[in-house]
Chain A
Amino acid sequence: MIYNTLISPFVEFAFMRRALVGTLALALGAGPVGVFLMLRRMSLVGDAMAHAILPGAAIGFLISGLSLFAMTAGGLIAGFVIAVGAGVIARVTELKEDASLAAFFLISLAVGVTIVSLKGTNIDLLHFLFGSVLALDNQTLLLIAAITTLSLIVLAVIYRPLVLECVDPGFLRSVSRAGGPAHIAFLALVVMNLVGGFHALGTLLAVGIMMLPAVTARFWARDVTMMILIAVAVGAVSGYAGLLLSFHVGAPSGPAIILVAGVLYAGSVLFGRVGGVLRLAFPGRHLEA
């Protein structure tokens, strides 16, 4: 019974195994990136960047159909252009970075939807917005795995400046000049992970597997390392449970995965050990020596 519910779908069907591997790889790469986005108070930047990817992917689609390479390259280019563009405008003009990013991503989204619709095949817009985690082929899986691997390596390299900049940017500036390059490398990771997630979950939900596990982890740990581990675990559990939900209940798979992450988040808000509602309402007895 338990075997039938929890394991046999993955034993019986290869597409379920592929979807699971894809989401696990995504959780592994996007989880840590999400934690840093949250710590740097850039939680919504992920969302903005995800929308910014759409026109690039759409142009790639326009040129060569549902080609993995063209859509990935397009998404990466668009993501970088928007990230750099918003940064430059924030430096040169009066506008703050979040405001210019908002402007950029809204324009991108409109351009993206227009391009996809101009091609005439309206239905493909759904694949852009919601992805197709059930249709992951070898190429796409390899791409996601490569992105995850690269993310973990780069994160390991820039880990120290990144953490320092989160907690004490002034101190980091006084001892090292690694802050700027680390920030740019980090933005590149955000874009890459979103493009990877885009193939599986679409532009709207790719950011879900990045941010929801991260904000959930915030309720369970104070320590960054612990937070990252919990975020990855939450992402993995969401992927697994979401696919099962889609398998047994018939819910569309992408939204099901993100919904499970949402339920975990809601539970953590209530019961979280670090700053959860119940914890704040009934603080433990003050320990005295």
Chain B
Amino acid sequence: MLTRRIALTAAALLLSQGAASAQERLKAVATFSILADFVKNVGGDRVEVHALVGPNADAHVYQPSPADAKTLAGAKVIFTNGLGFEGWIARLIKASGTRAPMIVATKGVMPRRMDEEGHAQADPHAWQSVPNAKTYVANIRDGLIAVDPDASATYEANASAYLAKLDALDSEVRAAVEKIPVDRRRIITTHDAFGYFAAAYEVAFIAPQGVSTESEISAKDVAKIITQIRKQKIPAVFLENITDDRLLKRIGAESGARIGGTLYSDALTDEKGSAPTYIDMMRHNVKQLVEALTS
């Protein structure tokens, strides 16, 4: 009898403690995996972050589910990319009835214009340049401190440690790109997500479609790409993790361009993949570029 009571009390104690430590962690929601990685790095152990669009998924064509609205309703703070990247987020926030503040991570980033189906709009893929990533981190730090001022010291420390890592990454990327001869720094990829990378590191990314992954490609488009590669003698074609790579393989075979590995643009991979974190992703992309363009 006595032992049972002790066991019960112990169990109750354990339970309450478990609940308490879960409560202590700040529930944050980030709209996609790369942003979630930044939040994880700044928040450390104090923040539990959930990405609405997980690894390997395309935020452009994402369909919110009721579970996402529930996640949002339970969040204390919401991080978005902004610049029109998550067209669905405003409606989802409204639907979820959450009162959590929304932090736009690209605040202060100079937006590039991109031409989408004839009309110019802001290019949302700002994280593709490391200096911009530092702006993201600063915004996330300030956002976390605003909702959880008690832990401001932790956030400050985490952020400055991570910012130092990003500085190192930036010079690493620059050094790697230097190795590629200037006239060979031209590639074609399926998705024009690399505008900021191109501007920061002087590599020309030529998008074959000029539109996001939404529209279905026609024979005319494919013919145009192949003609373009042949005419401009573009050395390499790159695949992306979220569109049909068979088509690009065909294009490569037919135009004589080298098929590079996969470049990650909008999403990280899962733990087993080659880009589970933002830093891994940038390193991976640069390595692929250097390999395809220097040989």
Contact = CB atoms under 8 A, between A and B. Distances in A.
A120 B56 contact: yes
Interface of B: 54-58, 61-63, 213, 216-223, 226, 242-247, 249-251, 253-254
A9 B227 CA distance: 12
Contacts of A252: 216-218
Nearest to B65: A117
Nearest to B215: A252
Contact of B254 (A9, A13, A127, A253): A13
A121 B247 CA distance: 17
Q: Which 8 A-B pairs have the closest CB atoms?
A: A246-B219, A135-B247, A250-B220, A135-B246, A252-B216, A247-B219, A120-B57, A250-B218
17 contacts: A9-B223, A14-B250, A16-B219, A66-B244, A66-B246, A120-B55, A120-B56, A132-B246, A132-B247, A134-B222, A135-B247, A135-B250, A136-B250, A137-B246, A137-B249, A137-B250, A247-B220
A64 B220 CA distance: 31
Majority secondary structure of chain A interface residues (helix, strand, loop or mixed): helix
Q: Most B CB atoms within 10 A — which of A19, A66, A134, A250?
A: A134
Contacts of A14: 250, 253-254
A134 B58 contact: no
B68 to A, nearest CB: 13
A130 interface: yes
A15 B61 contact: no
Contacts of A123: 58, 61, 213, 242-243
Nearest to A243: B219
Interface in A1-31: 9, 12-16, 18-19
A248 interface: yes
Nearest to B54: A120
Q: Most A CB atoms within 10 A — which of B62, B219, B244?
A: B219
A9 to B, nearest CB: 7
A251 interface: yes
Interface residues of A, number: 33
A248 B223 CA distance: 10
A30 to B, nearest CB: 21
Contact of B250 (A12, A120, A134, A250): A134
A273 B272 CA distance: 63
A250 B221 contact: yes
Contacts of B219: 9, 15-16, 19, 134, 243, 246-247, 253
B254 A15 contact: yes
A260 to B, nearest CB: 13
Contacts of B56: 120-121
Given A121-B58, A122-B62, A123-B213, A132 B244 contact: yes
A250 B226 CA distance: 15
Contact of B218 (A9, A117, A124, A253): A253
A134 B56 CA distance: 24
Nearest to B223: A13
A247 B242 contact: no
Given A121-B56, A134-B222, A135-B244, 16 more contacts: A9-B223, A13-B226, A14-B254, A15-B251, A16-B219, A120-B55, A120-B57, A121-B58, A134-B250, A246-B218, A247-B220, A249-B220, A250-B218, A251-B218, A252-B217, A253-B219
Nearest to A13: B223
A122 B56 CA distance: 10
A134 B217 contact: yes
